[in-house]
Amino acid sequence: MTIQEIKDVERGENREIVNKVEDLKNPLLKKVADHDGEKSEINESYLMVLFSTFVAVCGSFEFGSCVGYSAPTQSSIRHDLNLSLAEFSMFGSILTIGAMLGAVMSGQISDLTGRKGAMRTSACFCITGWLAVFFSKGALLLDVGRFFTGYGIGVFSYVVPVYIAEISPKNLRGGLTTLNQLMIVIGSSVSFMIGSLISWKTLALTGLAPCIVLLFGLCFIPESPRWLAKAGREKEFRVALQKLRGNKTDITNEAQEIEVSIQAIEVLPKARIQDLVSKKYGRSVTIGVSLMVFQQFVGINGIGFYASETFVRAGLSSGKLGTMAIACVQVPITVLGTILIDKCGRRPLIMISAGGIFLGCMLTGTSFVLKGQSLLLEWVPVLAVGGVLIYVAAFSIGMGPVPWVIMSEIFPINVKGIAGSLVVLVNWSGAWAVSYTFNFLMSWSSPGTFYMYSAFAVTTIIFVAKMVPETKGKTLEEIQACIRREA
C-alpha cells in the first residue's frame, strides 16, 4: 500500500480498502459478542445440571446418615430395648447385608426403571426402614428396618454416581461425581454429631428428611439422556438433553455422538454375567473391581469404625479427641478433592492419595512397634494420631471418591447395569470383610495390621500407573473408545 493510499484510507476516501478493513473487523466483533453470549448460555445451562446433582446427592447424604446411625445410638438403643451386645451387633452389621443385596439388584433396577426410578425405589426402602426403626419395640423390627435402609443405600451407592456422570458435561463430570463421596461424609458426620444430642428415635426420623427432599426433587429434574436413548425414547432423550444443556445451546453434536454410541452397542447381544470376563469388557471390569478392592483393603472401614479404640490402644487416655479430629479433617479434605479432580485428573489424585495412605499406615504401625518395645513412649500417641489423620486426609482426597467416579465412567451403557452391580457388590463385600477382621488382626499384630494395609496402598499405585486410563476431560463415549484401543 502506497503512502497516498494510507492517507486516503485515513480520510475515508478510498472506499474499497475501507470496506475491506470493515469486513475484517466485523467477524472479530461478532466473535467477541458470540463468545460473551456463549458464556451467558453456559452459565445458564449449568444451573439444571447443578440442581439435578443436588437432588441426586440427597441419596448420598442418606447413605451417610444410615452408616453413621449406629455409632452414637449404641448405648441408648441397648438400654431402651434391653438388647444384648450380640443383638446390637446384628443390628449394626445387617445394614451391610442389605446393602449387598441392593448392590446386586441396583443395575437391573436402574436399567429397567431408569436412574430416577432407581432413586425413587431406594428412597422408599429407606423411608420404610427408618419408620420400622422408629416404631420398633424389640430386636426383630429394629433389624428389619436396618436391613431395608441397607438395601436402599446399596442401590443409591450405584445409581447416584452413574446418574451424575451421565448428565454432566465432561469438564464438570469429575467434580460433580465426587460430590457423592462428599455428601456421604457429611451425612455420616451430621448423624454422628446430632446423635449425641437427640434420642435414637428422633435421629431415625431425621433420616426421612433427605429421602423426602429427593422424592420431591425428582419431580423437577430430567431423566438421564443416555438411559432414554438406550430405551429408544428419542423425543424424551432430546428434550432431557436440551433441558440439561440450556434452551439456547446447540445439542446436535452431543446428541449425535450419544446416538452413534448407543446404536453401536445395540447390535451386540444382551449382556450376560459371563460377558464380563470377555476380552471386550475384561479391561473395564478389571479396573472397576480392582479399584474397589484396593479402596476397601487399605483398611478404611476398620480404621474408621474403630478409630477411638485404636487411639486408646496407642496410649491415649481417651479416643474422643482423635475421633473429633478425624471428623474435622474429613469434610474439608473431601471438598478439596472435589475441586482438584477435574484439574489434576483421576490418576494423579488416586496415586497421591495412595501414597499418603502408605505414609499414614507406616507412622501408625511404627507407633505400635515403639509401644511394644517401650521406646520413645511420649511419641507413641503423637505418631498414632498423626498417622491416622494423614491416612484419613489422604483417603478422603482420592481413594474415597475417585474409584466411584471411575466406576461411573468406564463401562459401556449396555453392560453398565450388570458390571456396576458387580463392582458395588465387591465394594460392600470388602467393607464387611475389613470391618469384621480388623479387631482379629489387631489382636494378632497391631503394627502388622497397618503394615499390611500399607502394602495394599503401594499395590494401588502400581496398578493405577499400569492399568487405569485418565478420563479427565473426555466424554463417556471417548472413554469407551480409549479403553477399546488399549484392550
**pLDDT (tens digit, 9 = 90+) per residue, 127-173?**
999 999 999 888 889 989 999 999 999 999 889 988 998 888 877 77
Q: What's the CA gap between 207 and 130, in Å, rounded?
A: 7
Looking at residue 287, its amino acid is I
Query: Has residue 438 got a pLDDT over 90?
Result: no
The per-residue pLDDT of the chain, averaged, comes to: 80
Q: Which grid cell sits at 138?
A: 424389640
Can you give the pLDDT at residue 360?
92
Torsion of CA 198, 199, 201, 205, to 10 degrees: 0
Q: What's the CA gap between 113 and 110, in Å, rounded?
A: 5
Q: Which grid cell sits at 270?
A: 444382551
pLDDT bin (cut points 50, 70, 90) of residue 39 is very low
Low-confidence winner among 6-15, 87-96, 411-420, 463-472 (lowest mean pLDDT): 6-15
Q: What's the CA gap between 216 and 66, in Å, rounded?
A: 20
Looking at residue 280, its amino acid is K
Fold annotation for 271-486:
Growth Hormone; Chain: A; (1.20.1250)
CB neighbour list of residue 73: distance below 8 Å, 6 or more residues apart: 195, 200, 203
Q: Which grid cell sits at 255?
A: 446428541
Among 480, 170, 206, 189, CA closest to 342: 170
CATH number of 43-221: 1.20.1250.20
Domain ranges of the chain: 43-221, 271-486
271-486 matches 43-221 in CATH topology: yes
Report CA torsion sign: 181, 187, 188, 190.
positive
Structural contact between residues 170 and 73, judged by C-beta atoms closer than 8 angstroms = no
Burial-class residue 309 by CB neighbours within 10 Å (0-12, 13-18, 19+). Answer: middle
Which pLDDT tens digit goes with each residue over 230-247?
Answer: 888 889 989 998 888 888
Can you give the pLDDT at residue 253?
86
pLDDT bin (cut points 50, 70, 90) of residue 72 is confident
Q: Say which DSSP state 16 is in.
A: H
Which pLDDT tens digit goes with each residue over 274-315?
Answer: 667 777 778 888 899 999 999 999 988 777 666 666 666 666
- Angle CA 355–153–335, to nearest 5: 40
- Residue, of 398 and 27, whose pLDDT is higher: 398
Q: Say which DSSP state 378 is in.
A: G
Report how far apart, in Å, the C-alpha atoms of 167 and of each of 52, 176, 335, 483 are: 8, 10, 21, 21
Q: Kindly report the pTM of this predicted structure.
A: 0.73
Burial-class residue 344 by CB neighbours within 10 Å (0-12, 13-18, 19+). Answer: middle
Query: Has residue 320 got a pLDDT over 60?
Result: no
